[in-house]
Amino acid sequence: MTDADIPPAAVSNTPRGIKIALAVSVAINLGIAGLIGGLALNGGPGGRGDRMVREMGFGPFDPVFSPEDRTALRREVVSRLGDFRSARSQMQRDMTAILSALRADPYDADVLSGAFDAQAQHMSVRLTLGNTVVRDYLLGLTAEARLAFADRLDHVLQQGAGANGKGKAEDAPGK
């Protein structure tokens, strides 16, 4: 079949390099979304332990909190979020929408893009809530506790959470 045999509607004016770049970009985005979604839905690398804390955006702060503070922050998140199961269900619906858009025939890139936008919006709400709870916690610390927290956080950021257990806050001064 030659180009003359292909109907004009079937010929794409998009350069091949752009198509390849778009395909690679979609693959990378899907990989990242899959990783985030998989970690969120399966409890993350540490198992089912503090899954909610990780999902709320506590990130590198998590190992710095004392167990008591972590429990209090978790309760605060639940009180502000309301029904956590509903939020988890929304995450599953977001991933289902992405999968459906990927498998659709005919494929519609705008539908896939919209599914990613919706997922990002829902994740943003949870991340903002986590950041707000952490911020409020830090604003309530005494000067001594705030400086000790900063030292532990710096250690975690420099050495990692598992470095000799020194990032943990078990022996940290209180508020």
23-78 tens-digit pLDDT:
666 666 666 665 555 555 554 444 444 454 444 547 788 888 888 888 888 888 87
Tokens representing 29 are: 């985005």
The total of structural domains in the chain comes to 1
Give domain status of residue 39, yes or no.
no
Global model pTM greater than 0.75: no
Q: Among residues of the chain, what percentage have pLDDT more than 70?
A: 59
Give domain status of residue 30, yes or no.
no
Tokens representing 51 are: 């899954």
d(CA 64, CA 149): 7
Give domain status of residue 60, yes or no.
yes
Give domain status of residue 175, yes or no.
no
Residue 81 domain boundaries: 49-159
For residue 86, the SS3 value is helix
Angstrom CA distances, 89 to 23, 73, 114, 126, stand at 29, 22, 18, 13
Give domain status of residue 5, yes or no.
no
Give domain status of residue 65, yes or no.
yes
- What pLDDT, on a 0 to 100 scale, did the predictor assign at position 113? 92
Give domain status of residue 67, yes or no.
yes
Give domain status of residue 171, yes or no.
no
- What pLDDT, on a 0 to 100 scale, did the predictor assign at position 105? 93
- What pLDDT, on a 0 to 100 scale, did the predictor assign at position 15? 76
Spatial CA neighbour of 87 closest among 119, 113, 45 = 119
